Amino acid sequence: MSDKMYIKPAEGMTIPHPDTGAAILESGTWVPNNKFYRGFLTRKEALKSSPPKTTGKAPAKSEEK
């Protein structure tokens, strides 16, 4: 079992962020894989998800003149 999992809050639900206590954004976040956060999944207040894909490209730098 992994020590972390990526979850998103279900529609209308508020899940506390493990570091700040503020609500997790709709895009989701990594949380500890523990009884507290698994409870949100069991009650269908959160959905197990995958983190957003990254392109691997660095952002374009603006040219200095």
Domain of residue 16 covers 4-48
Please state the pTM of the whole predicted model: 0.76
The pLDDT assigned to 53 comes to: 85
pLDDT digits (tens, 9 = 90+) for 1-58: 789 999 999 999 999 999 999 999 999 999 999 999 999 999 999 999 999 887 766 6
Q: Which residue has the higher pLDDT, 8 or 63?
A: 8
Instruction: Kindly state whether residue 35 falls inside one of the protein's structural domains.
Output: yes
Report the number of distinct structural domains present in the chain.
1
Instruction: Kindly state whether residue 55 falls inside one of the protein's structural domains.
Output: no
Read off the DSSP letter of residue 9: E
The pLDDT assigned to 63 comes to: 55
